[in-house]
Structure 1
């Protein structure tokens, strides 16, 4: 039996469905929700027989978990560590699936890993606040508890190879690895959009996936200006979640300053089908993160045939290139190479790799390989 510890997030319903499709009746999901006070109400995850909604502020679980021989922690945080410390009295095998947000802000940034480009407004605006937090030792205390748990309790780590390598370099973490991913391309796109390709006549550039500070939006806008993007192009930038109002306003102001009405911030949260349409219209996609981020977006863009630019500072860039994907480096781009269309050969290669590595069938094979107790 597998006990999953997972947050109340948009992708969790399909995660549950993937595991149940392969290992039916062998999973229980503890869903952590409501970071605020009062009674918790799940925002995304649907109620099921094998789902337990949990809030440590309303801690009333009365169950023996000793029959679970595997625990899968989807995104490691203090709440899940506290849960394991309180409820798990035996010694199951513990798997940790990295999401990205669980290693960069706390574990790596505190040890000197650079997340923000120099022109990032968040870096400037929050400098005093961040220095005070460091002075109070907040991040260090938090990371010590997480590091201790990783070293003492975690048996397997799954995620991007670049993330796992950073854990070894910065924290000395060396654990057995398992393969896992959260974004099967065919589930995200559906049958109709699977048949689509990027519109090669489009003059639309899609930038990033959210208003998160680590998207380094100003870094991307400066890059586009340097590349000579003119008024014949539309620059679209999803800003519907992450960040804060002041930060988003600063990004929009710079986008309008550089590209006028051709800069289009996407401020409304779009249904998945509408969001996927953005990729079909985007011949070029830019991801300025210096950390593993927007993986699902990148998978879809590669499958549909977009030309993708990523930062050399992002470990995911190296991982994808090692797998054979054709993508381009922001810091190495020239005006000539930027506007040159992606070749049909490279499009087909990227598409075939996505089908081989990031399909629902592949995900289910990996679940069976690493989590089944069947002979």
Structure 2
């Protein structure tokens, strides 16, 4: 049973049923045992992605009523992405004495910089305009007058001004945000999900990327511009025997449009639309020599780390924030002639060492302890 006891302050995490929450729970509980409460806003339902984290469901009305009293029970409130108008309004309702931390997932950051259509390329933009695209939000779980109360979207300036600490996946994303809004650099606090040893390497010590396929994207997200990516491949000097599109999760309407568009190319393109256990997904990755990411926003970083560590090739747009991150870490890459892409070859000892230093278990443990100390002060 959930109990928000006065004077027994804890770190309050606002989360959703997503695959990274188990690792977040593990890391925060290791850093501060029994000091974290993970909340999912909405009615109780069967969890799809969270397997091990201890989470509580809380009705939005209850959380809304308690928000002004947060200084009595919360050391800090941590938003694991801000993906709905309700969460934005809730954020501004939290008592000013309570620190607020935002761990961005990318999808909740880039639309604050410019309209999503500006990240889409011609073919995908046509898909976008063919239907009303929107991520499922917490507002879908609300009803009646309570839902209608949150149609007003707070300004990004008000939100960012209220947030005390911002943790995008990469520092280069914070730089983009800082260029668009006046943000003190002190607000940046490095933290994000996963560690290489626990979430990538430990389960896959015998990985051998020996196939000749190309992995196009990692999900059925419209941000990945799949069909435009296929067109770009005609201009890139890459040798592969098959294209694999993992679409086991993402926007169902967009995935349906992809299926319809690709049904006559089933001999050369394999679209995976069913859930794969992690071990089976790794076998798919082993078949792929290349991983192509056709987007200007950070996405699919887990797959990028996998290919960089195990020796595949990552093909990514020059102006993707991941390229700036690789430059800062001195991970070498080459520009592909007459294109907007760079090619990164992974697997060498220096790259592995760099990744372990930046994204390793010990680094992650130290970052998490520091993170909680700063937001809880």
| TM-score of the two chains, using structure 1 as the length reference | 0.79
Tell me the residue number matched to 1:290: 296
Question: 1:95–1:155: 8 Å Cα contact kept in structure 2?
Answer: yes
Residues 256-291 of structure 1, C-alpha deviation per residue, up to 9 Å, x if partnerless?
66x651211111111112112222222211111211
- In structure 1, the partner of 2:27 is 18
Could you say which residue in structure 2 is the equivalent of 1:180?
A: 191
> CA 1:331–1:32 in 2, change beyond 3 Å: closer, same or farther?
farther
Q: Deviations over 1:119-146 (max 9, x none)?
A: 32xx114437669xxxxxxxxx866434
Closer/same/farther in 2, CA of residues 326 and 252 from structure 1, 3 Å limit: farther
Match status 1:350 vs 2:358: no
Unaligned runs of 5+ in 1: 132-140
3-state SS of paired residue (1:350)? helix
* SS of alignment partner, residue 261 of structure 1: coil
Deviation at 1:56, TM superposition (A): 1.5
1:218 matches 2:227: yes
**Secondary structure at the residue paired with 1:119?**
helix
Provide the rounded CA distance (Å) in 1 between the counterparts of 2:34 and 2:159.
29
In 2: Cα distance, 1:251 partner to 1:192 partner = 32
**1:311 corresponds to which residue?**
317
- Output the CA distance in 1 between the equivalents of 2:97 and 2:63: 22
Superposed displacement of residue 298, structure 1 = 0.9
The answer to whether the 8 Å contact 1:2/1:26 transfers is yes
Partner deviation per Cα, 1:194-252 (whole Å, 9 max, x = no partner): 342422xx21111111111110112221122223667x61111111221334x334434
User: Which secondary structure does the structure 2 equivalent of 1:198 belong to?
Assistant: coil
- Residues 26-77 of structure 1 show CA distances to partners (whole Å, capped at 9, x for unaligned) of 212222356xxxx5454433587x6331242676987964242322221124
Does residue 155 (structure 1) correspond to residue 128 (structure 2)? The answer is no
Q: How far apart are the structure 1 equivalents of 2:363 and 2:335?
A: 28
Q: Secondary structure at the match of 1:72?
A: strand
1:215-294 to structure 2, matched below 5 A, reads 215-227=224-236, 233-245=241-253, 247-252=254-259, 255=262, 261-294=267-300
Once the two structures are TM-superposed, the CA of residue 173 in structure 1 deviates from its matched residue by 3.2
- Residue 349 of structure 1 and its aligned partner are, at CA, apart by 2.5
RMSD of aligned C-alpha atoms?
Answer: 3.4
Change (3 A) 1:248 1:6: closer
Looking at structure 2, the residues matched to 363 and 61 of structure 1 have their Cα atoms a distance apart, in angstroms, of: 35
Q: Secondary structure at the match of 1:94?
A: strand
Instruction: Work out whether residues 240 and 267 of structure 1, in 8 Å CA contact, stay in contact via their aligned partners in 2.
Output: yes
Task: From 49, 57, 60, give the equivalent of 1:44.
Answer: 49
Please, what TM-score do these two structures have when normalized by structure 2? Answer: 0.79
Aligned residues: 345
Q: Deviations over 1:310-351 (max 9, x none)?
A: 01232222222222223455675599x97xx948xx632222
SS at match of 1:16: helix
* Contact 2:290-2:314 within 8 A present in 1 as well: yes
CA shift in 2, pair 1:129/1:239, >3 Å = closer
Contact 1:310 / 1:329 at 8 angstroms: preserved in 2?
no
- Bigger Cα displacement from structure 2, 274-283 vs 94-103: 274-283
Q: Which residue of 6, 12, 17 maps to 1:8? A: 17
Runs of 5+ consecutive residues of structure 2 not aligned to the other structure: 1-9, 134-150
